[in-house]
Amino acid sequence: MTKVNEDLFNTQKSEKFVSKLIDIINFGALNLMISIGYRTELFDVMSEIDPAGSETIAQKAGLNERYVREWLGSMVTGGIVDYDPVEKHYHLPPEHAAWLTRAATPDNIAVTTQWFSVLASVEDKILDCFKNGGGLSYSEYNRFHEVMADESRQTVIVPLIDQLLPLAGDIIEKLKSGINVLDLGCGSGLALVEMAKIFPNSNFTGYDLSQDAVKTGTDNARELGLRNIVLKAMDISKIEDREQYDFITTFDAVHDQAKPDVVLKNIYNALKPDGTYFMQDIAGSSFVEKNMDHPIGSFLYTISCLHCMSVSLCQDGKGLGAMWGKELAVDMLKDAGFTNIELKELPHDPMNYYYIVRK
Ligand SMILES: C[S@@+](CC[C@H](N)C(=O)[O-])C[C@H]1O[C@@H](n2cnc3c(N)ncnc32)[C@H](O)[C@@H]1O
């Protein structure tokens, strides 16, 4: 045990810290239960009914009453659901439902709570990485692509046309007239499918390592009858396209690359001389001391350590991590050959920076 110099030990500081730790335990528990509330659709059900008993709520949600009642106990003691002990009625106030239901998209914060069970699914293997180095592959994470697509629906798809694309100047006009677009690390291709629907004169190509994610996107595009989109399973550090695309996008897909420097160079080579590269990547500084006021700094370093950095290290990669930061990002874009780099931010989006990049 560490020897404590009692003269220097600040009891008040220590007591304040232990109550913070107790808050963390309660908040961690609530995070898991909010994720369950999202996946079972309990929040959606509760937002649509009057205050009700656990039996009614369970019956409307098609769930087991005993589990629902225990979940409600956690929600009530956590201040998320209101409780009337006389009537034994539970109520999700509209002010809370505004951040927890599918109807609240893109403000449904319950979606993001799912990450912790995704990350916890690899805790034992990550412990091994702490001891021996190396990393884990995407396929080792339970539900990664499903949760990523859920998150993208909120952070990319909803704001794509009205907020994200206008950051890149007159790109909407060009998309309307007809251009070639490439999205790298496209996952299940949600952003491309959305653009392909809206801009029938443009052609859309997407590459991602994951065969499963590419299949999900391809099936989705086929169901919608889209003929202007192709998704391929491909390692983007190996593409050899030359000056083919007017608009290249990466959504949250550079920092976790094994070879981000090679990928950025490939993007430079694939872009036409007057083309635009749109890079959405995690907001933050490359210096931890400059992230002290980041509203979700701990969350981002955690997801980085347990996922983004690890999937890169697994391939003997650079392991930049999600918090590679704007300073390093700009240096790497310059090293790839780009000379014109603008960093933009959107109000109410503490998660991302938007780099508008030209040759
Ligand atoms: C954080 S996810 C983002 C997915 C998608 N852009 C979105 O916003 O939903 C990063 C994606 O990059 C893909 N990826 C990682 N390394 C890759 C590589 N070398 N070649 C192609 N795709 C890669 C992963 O499979 C994953 O789908």
The model carries a pTM of 0.93
Task: Give the DSSP H/E element, type plus range, for residue 232.
Answer: strand 229-233
Per-residue pLDDT, averaged over 316-330, amounts to: 97
Same domain, 167 and 314: yes
Q: Which of 66, 101, 136 is the last residue of a domain?
A: 101
The CB of 156 under 6 Å from ligand 1? The reply is yes
Helices (DSSP H) in the chain: which residue ranges? 11-39, 42-47, 54-61, 65-77, 94-97, 110-113, 115-120, 123-132, 144-152, 171-177, 190-198, 211-223, 260-270, 297-303, 309-313, 325-335
Please give the distance of CA 252 from its chain centroid, rounded to a whole number.
7
Q: Does residue 81 lie in a domain region?
A: yes
Last residue of a domain, one of 59, 75, 101: 101
Residue nearest to atom 11 of ligand 1 (CA): 185
With bands split at pLDDT 50, 70 and 90, how would you rate the model's confidence at 109? Answer: very high
Name the pLDDT band for 1 (thresholds 50, 70, 90): low
The domain spanning residue 74 has which CATH number?
1.10.10.10
Structure tokens at 288: 């931890």
- pLDDT tens, position by position, 127-184: 999 999 999 999 999 999 999 999 999 999 999 999 999 999 999 999 999 999 999 9
Q: How many domains are there within the chain?
A: 2
207 touches ligand 1 (CB under 6 Å): yes
2 has a pLDDT exceeding 90: no
167 and 56 both lie in a single domain:
no
Task: Extract the tokens encoding 346.
Answer: 């959107």
Ligand 1 centroid–CA 253 distance in Å is 5
Half-sphere exposure of 213 (CA within 13 A, CB side): 26
pLDDT mean over 205-220: 95
Residue 3, pLDDT > 70, answer no
Q: What is the pLDDT of residue 151?
A: 92
Based on the domain organization, do 90 and 163 belong to the same domain?
no
Q: Reply yes or no on whether the pLDDT at 339 is more than 90.
A: yes
The pLDDT of residue 6 is above 80: no
Q: Of 294, 310, 276, 268, which is closest to residue 123 (Cα–Cα)?
A: 310
CATH of the domain at 229: 3.40.50.150
**Co-location of 197 and 332 in the same domain:** yes
Q: pLDDT digits over 295-306, tens only? A: 999 999 999 999
Tens-digit pLDDT profile for residues 47-101: 999 999 999 999 999 999 999 999 999 999 999 999 999 999 999 999 999 999 9
115 Cβ closer than 6 Å to some ligand 1 atom = no
**Ligand 1 within 6 A of CB of 257:** yes
Burial of 49 (0-12, 13-18, 19+ CB in 10 A): middle
Euclidean distance between CA atoms 129 and 343, whole angstroms: 34
pLDDT at 168: 97
Same domain, 162 and 72: no
Residue nearest to atom 24 of ligand 1 (CA): 185
- pLDDT band for position 347 (50/70/90)? confident
Regarding whether 163 and 52 lie in a shared domain, the answer is no
Of 156, 143, 141, 190, nearest to 308 (Cα)? Answer: 141
Distance 209 CA to ligand 1 centre (A): 7
Same domain flag for 265 and 157: yes
Asked if 39 and 140 sit in the same domain, the reply is: no
CA of 123 to the centre of ligand 1 (A): 22
Domain ranges, residue 69 = 11-101
Please give the distance, rounded to the nearest whole angstrom, from the Cα atom of residue 346 to the centre of ligand 1: 23
Burial class (CB in 10 A: 0-12, 13-18, 19+), 62: exposed
Claim to verify: residue 199 and residue 328 sit in the same structural domain: yes
**What's the CA-to-centroid distance between 7 and ligand 1, angstroms?**
53
Per-residue pLDDT at 333: 98
Q: Is residue 2 part of a domain?
A: no
Q: What is the pLDDT of residue 326?
A: 98
Residues 323 and 351 in one domain: yes
Q: Identify whether residues 55 and 126 lie together within a single domain.
A: no
Are 49 and 129 found together in one domain?
no
pLDDT in tens, 15-43: 999 999 999 999 999 999 999 999 999 99
Average pLDDT, rounded, for the chain = 96
Cα 3 to ligand 1 centre (Å): 48
